[in-house]
């Protein structure tokens, strides 16, 4: 781990900047909102319910009384629901003329093998497909931010080192198959066949596969932004092992005990994604950082080799585009825009 990057000391001033943090009801998301707002950004926070927004607002106010609460806005967003994603993006587009920072933080970790909308594996749906559509929907606002006098638009997507630590290098990814969103894991590594689900309180393999898709999304997105001549940066981030409310709620007693003793706090967990989203070092050295995967505190880390496999990368993008458009059409919603 490299030296701690302290958001309070090292984040630049963000007056005039508009930011969105998804999954801001607690944990790393809520801490990022606090830091961004303290530095002067106007921050849109997404939650899945009004109740969660109210609780989060109270926590934020108690913890950071210095924040101008008028600068913290709340948006409803359920990333498993394409209508909700479209509505949230529309609300944002009706309220703002640009977006400087988008942090795709929300994620699911579950044992459920139910399919979202009867078609998509849960982790793939929430952690990858949801952000894929949300970014596409708000991209016009990010593009407008590039016309600023001091432009620095960035999209940061939270992944996890689990995508490379928990999956062997020869793991059989299915991203080049049309079934990759429905059944992304056809074979479990033998070590995980029996023990995996008892060690963690969620399906670590499916979670890790979705987080590999996220790293590929950040990289594929950067290629498309570059091809369009857009000076927007896209990065993916592992925030560290962080003892958030979410982690404490789903893991077993054993992992919880380890988490209490050894994991980062949520505030510390917020540092790496905020480094990716705001640090001057990234913009100054942008050629090194475009589309990269960062670990604490801002180290460029080689991701799982699947991320460098053009067939898997292209397959994932094409199948997702086709599937999402099919579902959007079925719901009577506008198709994906060009990137």
Ligand X SMILES: NC(=O)c1ccc[n+]([C@@H]2O[C@H](COP(=O)([O-])OP(=O)(O)OC[C@H]3O[C@@H](n4cnc5c(N)ncnc54)[C@H](OP(=O)(O)O)[C@@H]3O)[C@@H](O)[C@H]2O)c1
Q: Indicate which residues carry an active-site annotation.
A: 207
Judge whether 145 and 151 are in contact, CB under 8 Å: yes
Out of 18, 21, 28, 271, name the contact with ligand X by CB under 6 A.
28
Which one of 245, 258, 288, 329 is in contact with ligand X (CB under 6 A)?
Answer: 245
Query: Least distance in Å: CB of 25 to ligand X?
Result: 4
Residues 99-128 that bind ligand X (CB under 6 A): 105-108, 126
What φ, ψ does residue 165 adopt, rounded to 5°?
A: -75, -35
Q: Note the Cα 241 to chain centre separation in Å.
A: 15
34 is an interface residue for ligand X by CB under 6 A: no
Tokens of residue 85, six digits: 């994603």
Report the alpha-carbon distance of residue 323 to residue 312 in Å, rounded. 16
> Contact, 276 vs 282, CB < 8 A?
yes
| Least CB distance to ligand X at residue 325 (A) | 21
Determine if 27 is a binding residue for ligand X (CB under 6 A): yes
Closest to ligand X by CB, 26 or 222: 26
Among 34, 196, 246, 303, binds ligand X (CB under 6 A): 246
Side-chain-side CA neighbours of residue 161 (13 Å): 15
By beta-carbon proximity to ligand X, the closer residue of 136 and 160 is 160
Are the CB atoms for 243 and 264 separated by under 8 Å?
yes
Report how far apart, in Å, the C-alpha atoms of 226 and of each of 102, 232, 321 are: 17, 8, 19
Q: For ligand X, how many residues bind (rule: CB under 6 A)?
A: 28
Least distance (Å) between residue 229 CB and ligand X: 30
- Binding mask 130-169 toward ligand X (x if CB under 6 A, else -) reads ----------------------------x-x---------
Q: Which of residues 48-87 bind ligand X (CB under 6 A)?
A: 48, 52, 77-80
By CB atoms closer than 10 A (0-12, 13-18, 19+), residue 257 is exposed
Nearer to ligand X by C-beta: 245 or 318? 245
Minimum separation from the CB atom of position 171 to ligand X (A): 18
Q: In this complex, which beta carbon is closest to ligand X, that of residue 220 or of residue 246?
A: 246
Shortest separation between residue 238's beta carbon and ligand X, angstroms: 6
Structure tokens belonging to residue 33: 């909102």
What's the rounded Cα separation, in Å, for the pair 14 and 258? 36
250 and 166 Cβ atoms separated by less than 8 Å: no
Of the residues 92, 204, 247, 282, which one makes contact with ligand X according to CB under 6 A: 247
Q: Closer to ligand X at the Cβ: 106 or 155? A: 106
Kindly list the distances between the CA atom of residue 155 and the CA atoms of 126, 218, 234, 328, in Å, as whole numbers in the listed order. Answer: 17, 8, 5, 23
Question: How many whole angstroms separate alpha carbon 155 and alpha carbon 141?
Answer: 12
State the angle between helix axes of 310-330 and 204-227 in degrees (0 to 180), rounded to the nearest 10: 90
Under the binding rule (CB under 6 A), the answer on residue 241 touching ligand X is yes
Binding segment (CB under 6 A) for ligand X, from list 164-172, 198-206, 239-247, 314-322: 239-247
C-alpha–C-alpha distance, residues 101 and 91, integer Å: 17
Task: Tell me the CB-side half-sphere exposure of residue 230, using CA atoms within 13 A.
Answer: 23
Site for ligand X contains 294 (CB under 6 A): no
Q: Spell out the residues 6+ positions from residue 168 whose beta carbon is closer than 8 angstroms to its own.
A: 189
Residue from the set 23, 196, 201, 296 that interacts with ligand X by CB under 6 A:
23
Cβ-proximal residue to ligand X, closest one: 246
Taking the least distance from each CB to ligand X, the nearer of 230 and 259 is 259
With respect to ligand X, which residue has the nearer C-beta, 42 or 52? Answer: 52
Which residues are at the interface with ligand X (CB under 6 A)? 23, 25-29, 47-48, 52, 77-80, 105-108, 126, 158, 160, 238-239, 241-242, 244-247
């Amino acid at each position: 781990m490299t030296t701690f990057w302290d958001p309070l000391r090292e984040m630049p001033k963000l007056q005039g900047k508009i930011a969105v943090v998804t999954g801001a009801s607690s944990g790393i998301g809520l801490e990022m909102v606090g830091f961004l707002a303290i530095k002067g950004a106007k921050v849109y926070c997404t939650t899945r319910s009004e109740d969660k927004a109210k609780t989060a607002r109270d926590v934020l106010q108690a913890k950071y009384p210095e924040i101008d609460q008028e600068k913290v806005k709340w948006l409803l967003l359920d990333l498993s629901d394409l209508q909700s994603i479209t509505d949230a993006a529309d609300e944002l587009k009706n309220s703002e003329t640009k977006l400087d920072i988008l942090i795709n933080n929300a994620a699911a970790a579950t044992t459920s093998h139910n399919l979202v909308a009867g078609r998509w594996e849960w982790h793939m749906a929430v952690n990858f497909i949801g952000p894929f559509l949300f970014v596409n929907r708000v991209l016009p606002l990010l593009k407008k931010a590039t016309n600023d006098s001091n432009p620095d638009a960035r999209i940061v997507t939270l992944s996890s080192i689990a995508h490379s630590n928990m999956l062997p290098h020869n793991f059989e990814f299915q991203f080049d198959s049309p079934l990759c969103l429905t059944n992304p894991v056809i074979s479990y590594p033998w070590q995980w066949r029996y023990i995996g689900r008892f060690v963690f309180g969620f399906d670590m393999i499916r979670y890790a596969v979705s987080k590999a898709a996220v790293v590929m999304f950040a990289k594929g997105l950067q290629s498309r932004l570059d091809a369009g001549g857009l000076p927007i940066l896209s990065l993916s981030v592992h925030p560290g092992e962080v003892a958030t409310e979410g982690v404490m709620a789903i893991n077993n007693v054993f992992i919880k005990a380890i988490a209490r003793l050894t994991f980062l706090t949520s505030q510390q967990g917020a540092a790496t994604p905020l480094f990716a989203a705001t640090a001057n070092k990234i913009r100054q050295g942008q050629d090194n950082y475009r589309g990269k995967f960062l670990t604490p505190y801002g180290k460029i880390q080689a991701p799982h080799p699947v991320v460098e496999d053009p067939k898997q990368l292209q397959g994932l993008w094409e199948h997702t585009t086709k599937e999402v458009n099919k579902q959007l059409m079925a719901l009577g919603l506008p198709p994906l825009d060009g990137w």
